[in-house]
């Protein structure tokens, strides 16, 4: 059975300028053509011909960058906004976690707010009375429930909002990024409740930037870009496609930024600071590429990186060492090596040439990194040293911390029960 059917939905937002407002107000007053006068002067397409179906009992994820239309989509399914064209069909009672505690009044107590918020979300007074204890317990607000809501911390506020919304006991739950603001101990509790929902064969539409959670809990995922559905399907596949797109975009931005930097400060000046040596052997150019040979600035740990140096020696030189060093944004050296440390014995270098260092796996955590490249004598006398002149980005869905990402695997004995991250709910299927 289909729980949510979105059929060729388009939503166009209208923007009115201040001057336009004045004009329309005037014409509305003078001619009395109010509705006609309220024609906007700019149209923004938030959703463009979006279609998909969500089966009952499944969890459907929606990902995309800010402004891609995710929230608009959710509001349309919740019925808060109407589509400009297209159709929405929703089977079952919907509860939307769009902004928690949106209807709270700061001056009155948590208790009274539970009642009013509950009624707003479609509960009857009796239902609220029955669920009242649950709501308070889940929100962990037993001691504060009679205090005015304005005295609550933002975490308490959010907990109460979530607790009410989840206790509405809907058939379809719409979740919009609300978990992003919760405190560390409450978010897992919320996710538990959402998991519980899934087990009970309820439908969830989950909008989030937290790709790891999306991949963990969703059966299918849609990726929205500029109001259009790019792909729908298996979470891993869609998320990968999305990540690749984001990486490409970052890549372009990175390039633009680097070009700007180069235009702003004269390259020479930067060089004096960050490049030294008499250049008996010169590193003329450095390229960062992937293993397919495409020049890039954003890398995922799995794809690895290739550092390619165009070098030239202006006379035959017998004592030389090539080296690279990788530094993170805090200036800590993450890795460094050179041909001498790895026991290459230099013979001779003369004229132009290429030095390539292939890094099979770039096992680093997400972030910006700087690259040093150098050619020097064995005793350290520099021919040409480039300090932090090149930078690249590591971007992945991993969320680990520290400096490097050590390749690893978890194993547990049978009496320790954990759900593996790729585990999909198999109940009833």
Partner 1 sequence: MGVKAMIKLLENLKTIYRYRGLIQSLVGRELKARYRGTVLGFLWSFINPLLLMIIYTIVFGFIIGPRDPAFNNNPILYALFLFCGVLPWTWFSSSSLEAANVLMIQGNLIKKVLFPAEVLPIVVVTSNFIHFLFGLPILFGAKALISCFVPNAPGFSIYLVFLPYVILVQYIFTLGLGLFLSALTVHFRDIKDILANLLTFWFFASPIIYPMTFGPIKKSVILRTFLNLNPITHIMVGYQNTVYFGEMIRWKRLSVTLLVAIIIFIVGYHVFDKLRDSFPEEV
Nearer residue to partner 1 within complex by CB, 99 or 195: 99
Binding mask 27-56 for partner 1 (x = CB under 8 A): -x-----xx--x------------------
Q: Which residue blocks in 79-208 are alpha helix, DSSP H?
A: 110-120, 125-139, 154-167, 186-199
Residue among 2, 120, 133, 261 that touches partner 1 (CB under 8 A): 120
Nearer residue to partner 1 within complex by CB, 31 or 419: 31
Give the interface size with partner 1 as a residue count (CB under 8 A): 34
Choices 98-106, 251-259, 333-341, 400-408 (CB under 8 A): range interacting with partner 1: 98-106
What is the distance between the alpha carbons of residues 167 and 135, in angstroms, rounded to a whole number?
A: 7
What is the distance between the alpha carbons of residues 330 and 207, in angstroms, rounded to a whole number?
A: 33
Examine residue 82 and tell whether it contacts partner 1 (CB under 8 A): yes
C-alpha dihedral sign at 243, 285, 279, 337:
positive
Burial label for 264, CB within 10 Å (0-12, 13-18, 19+), is exposed
Return the exposure string of 242-252: e unless at least 16 CB atoms fall within 10 Å of the residue's CB, then b. bbebbbeeebe
C-alpha dihedral sign at 67, 73, 76, 77:
negative
Binding mask 133-172 for partner 1 (x = CB under 8 A): ---------------x------------------------
Token output for 360: 């099979």
What is the helix, strand, coil percentage profile of the chain, to 5? 30, 35, 35
Token output for 75: 């509001």
CA angle 181, 185, 191 (to 5 degrees): 75
Choices 117-125, 188-196, 312-320, 349-357 (CB under 8 A): range interacting with partner 1: 117-125
Examine residue 79 and tell whether it contacts partner 1 (CB under 8 A): yes
Task: Report how far apart the first and last C-alpha atoms of the chain are (Å, whole number).
Answer: 13
Residue among 81, 250, 274, 290 that touches partner 1 (CB under 8 A): 81
Examine residue 103 and tell whether it contacts partner 1 (CB under 8 A): yes
Nearer residue to partner 1 within complex by CB, 80 or 212: 80
Residues in the chain, overall count: 429
Examine residue 74 and tell whether it contacts partner 1 (CB under 8 A): no
Examine residue 88 and tell whether it contacts partner 1 (CB under 8 A): no
Residue among 52, 115, 132, 276 that touches partner 1 (CB under 8 A): 115
Examine residue 365 and tell whether it contacts partner 1 (CB under 8 A): no
Examine residue 13 and tell whether it contacts partner 1 (CB under 8 A): yes
Task: Give me the residues that bind partner 1 (CB under 8 A), please.
Answer: 13-14, 16, 21, 24-25, 28, 34-35, 38, 75, 78-82, 94, 96, 98-99, 102-103, 105, 107-108, 112, 115-116, 119-121, 124-125, 148
């Amino acid at each position: 059975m289909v729980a949510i059917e979105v059929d060729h939905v388009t939503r166009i937002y209208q923007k009115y300028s201040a001057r336009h407002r004045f004009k329309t107000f005037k014409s509305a007053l003078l001619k009395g053509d109010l509705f006609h006068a309220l024609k906007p002067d700019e149209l923004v397409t938030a959703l463009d011909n979006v279609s998909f179906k969500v089966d009952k009992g499944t969890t459907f994820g929606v990902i995309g960058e800010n402004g891609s239309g995710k929230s608009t989509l959710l509001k349309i399914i919740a019925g808060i906004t109407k589509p400009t064209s297209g159709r929405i069909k929703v089977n079952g009672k919907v509860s939307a976690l769009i902004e928690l505690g949106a209807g709270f009044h700061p001056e009155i107590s948590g208790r009274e707010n539970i009642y009013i918020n509950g009624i707003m979300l479609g509960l009857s007074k009796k239902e609220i009375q029955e669920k009242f204890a649950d709501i308070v317990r889940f929100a962990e607000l037993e001691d504060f429930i009679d205090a005015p809501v304005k005295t609550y911390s933002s975490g308490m506020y959010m907990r109460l909002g979530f607790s009410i919304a989840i206790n509405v006991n809907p058939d379809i739950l719409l979740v919009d990024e609300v978990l992003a603001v919760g405190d560390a101990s409450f978010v897992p509790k919320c996710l538990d409740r959402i998991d519980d929902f899934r087990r009970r064969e309820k439908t969830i539409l989950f909008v989030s930037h937290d790709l790891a959670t999306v991949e963990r809990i969703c059966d299918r995922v849609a990726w929205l870009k500029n109001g259009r559905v790019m792909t729908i399907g298996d979470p891993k596949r869609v998320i990968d496609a999305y990540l690749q797109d984001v990486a490409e975009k970052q890549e372009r931005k990175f390039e633009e930024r680097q070009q700007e930097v180069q235009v702003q400060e004269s390259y020479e000046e930067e060089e004096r600071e960050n490049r030294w040596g008499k250049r008996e052997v010169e590193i003329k150019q450095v390229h960062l590429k992937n293993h397919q040979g495409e020049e890039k600035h954003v890398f995922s740990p799995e794809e690895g990186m290739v550092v390619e140096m165009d070098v030239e020696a202006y006379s035959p030189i017998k004592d030389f060492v090539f080296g690279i060093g990788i530094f993170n944004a805090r200036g800590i050296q993450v890795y460094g090596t050179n041909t001498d440390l790895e026991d290459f014995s230099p013979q001779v270098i003369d004229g132009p040439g290429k030095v390539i260092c292939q890094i099979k796996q770039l096992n680093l955590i997400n972030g910006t990194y700087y690259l040093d490249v150098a050619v020097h004598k064995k005793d350290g006398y520099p021919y040409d040293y480039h300090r932090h002149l090149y930078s690249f980005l590591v971007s992945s869905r991993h969320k680990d911390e520290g400096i490097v990402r050590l390749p690893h695997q978890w194993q547990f004995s049978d009496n320790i029960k954990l759900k593996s991250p790729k585990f999909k709910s198999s109940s009833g299927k």
